[in-house]
Structure 1
């Protein structure tokens, strides 16, 4: 093999390796914002941090314990890359459950 062909093969191999590092696999799903929820009395809070380079939309959901107390689905909020948001909502009385969904 000539020097020119070896050099071309080495450059092609290095370029392919670099592309494999820079381009994520097609089936790689983006990560979601990391959310931590807390309940204090009738107030539910979620703090969400997005470590990913893509924005994420988070929504706080609160299930109230009393049958007459309406459950709450907060408005969706966008969390940009390397950003954090705090979501809060409440029931009139006790809270049965709190969770965050991503879109």
Structure 2
């Protein structure tokens, strides 16, 4: 009979063995610039993004909106700087429906 605690002990032993084999560099924060966390929202023909930068370096964000109608031009906001521990709000719109919304980042 296999008891649940045996499986748990085996998993803990395996995790401990794997953790011991990792170098300190592998456990450190990832190298390179970090991106701000952005959340997008679409309400009818309006799109918005709120970005918060919890990192130590500034991030530059830009909201992109792809409109659903072929005659409705796709829109992009001007790039905005999000300083450390700050947030920024971006908005843009289409004439009618929105097909897709996304945010791009550039560390500059």
TM-score of Structure 1 vs Structure 2, range by shorter chain: 0.7 to 0.9
Match of 2:53 among 42, 50, 53: 50
Match of 2:87? 84
Match of 1:68? 71
SS in 1 for 2:56: coil
Contiguous gaps of at least 5 residues in structure 1: 1-19
Per-residue deviation, 1:29: 1.6
* Alpha-carbon separation, structure 1, partners of 2:53 and 2:75: 23
Q: CA RMSD in A?
A: 1.9
Instruction: Compute the TM-score of the two structures, normalised by the length of structure 2.
Output: 0.70
CA displacement 1:52-96 (0-9 Å, x = unmatched): 010000000000000000000110000000000000000000000
Aligned positions, number: 81
Per-residue deviation, 1:34: 0.2
* Alpha-carbon separation, structure 2, partners of 1:98 and 1:58: 13
SS in 2 for 1:100: strand
Contiguous gaps of at least 5 residues in structure 2: 1-23
- List structure 1 segments (4+ residues) > 2 angstroms apart after TM superposition: none
Instruction: Compute the TM-score of the two structures, normalised by the length of structure 1.
Output: 0.74
The answer on 1:95 being equivalent to 2:98 is: yes
Larger radius of gyration: 1
CA displacement 1:30-68 (0-9 Å, x = unmatched): 210000000000000000000001000000000000000
